[in-house]
Amino acid sequence: MMLDCAIIGGGPAGLNAALVLGRARRNILLFDNGKPRNAVTQESHGFITRDGVSPAKFRELAHEDLNKYPSIKIDNVEIVEIKRSSGTAFHLTTREGATYTAKKIILTTGLKETLPTVPNIQDYYGKSLFSCPYCDGWELRDKPLIVISENKNAVHMAKTLSQWSKDLIVCTNGHSVIPEAEAQLLKKHGIRIIEESINQLHGQNGNLEKVSFADGTKIERSGGIVTTELAQSHSFIDSLNYDCTQNGGILVDELGRTSVEGVYAAGEASNSGPSQLIIAAAHGSRAAAGVNSDLTMEVFQ
Q: How far apart are CA 176 and CA 156, in angstroms?
A: 15
Q: Are residues 164 and 20 in the same domain?
A: no
Instruction: Answer with the one of 173, 196, 226 that is the final residue of a domain.
Output: 226
Instruction: Answer with the one of 203, 226, 249 that is the final residue of a domain.
Output: 226
How many other CB atoms are there within 10 angstroms of residue 162's CB atom? Answer: 18
Q: Are residues 253 and 108 in the same domain?
A: yes
Phi and psi at residue 131, to the nearest 5°: -110, -10
Q: What number of CA atoms fall less than 13 Å from residue 164's CA on the CB side? A: 22
Q: Are residues 108 and 244 in the same domain?
A: yes
Q: Are residues 273 and 182 in the same domain?
A: no
Which pLDDT score is estimated for 292?
A: 98
Q: Are residues 107 and 6 in the same domain?
A: yes
Q: Are residues 280 and 149 in the same domain?
A: no
Q: Are residues 108 and 237 in the same domain?
A: yes
Q: How many domains does the chain have?
A: 2
- DSSP H or E run through 129: strand 129-130
Q: Residue 226 has what DSSP assignment?
A: E
Q: Are residues 104 and 243 in the same domain?
A: yes
CATH of the domain at 202: 3.50.50.60
Instruction: Answer with the one of 167, 195, 226 that is the final residue of a domain.
Output: 226
* Cβ contact 110:36 at 8 Å: yes
Q: Are residues 109 and 242 in the same domain?
A: yes
Q: Are residues 77 and 155 in the same domain?
A: no
Q: How far apart are CA 83 and CA 77, in angstroms?
A: 17
Q: Are residues 80 and 147 in the same domain?
A: no
- pTM to 2 decimal places: 0.91
Phi and psi at residue 122, to the nearest 5°: -65, -25
Which pLDDT score is estimated for 74?
A: 97
Q: Are residues 217 and 247 in the same domain?
A: no
Per the DSSP assignment, residues forming a β-bridge with 223 are: 145
Which pLDDT score is estimated for 194?
A: 98
**Domain span holding position 132:** 116-226
pLDDT in tens, the chain (301 residues): 799 999 999 999 999 999 999 999 999 999 998 876 666 678 889 999 999 999 889 999 999 999 999 999 999 999 999 998 767 899 999 999 999 999 999 999 988 889 999 999 999 999 999 999 999 999 999 999 999 999 999 999 999 999 999 999 999 999 999 999 999 999 999 999 999 999 999 999 999 999 999 999 999 999 999 999 887 777 788 889 899 887 778 999 999 999 999 999 999 888 766 678 899 999 999 999 999 999 999 999 8
**Terminal CA-CA length for the chain:** 23
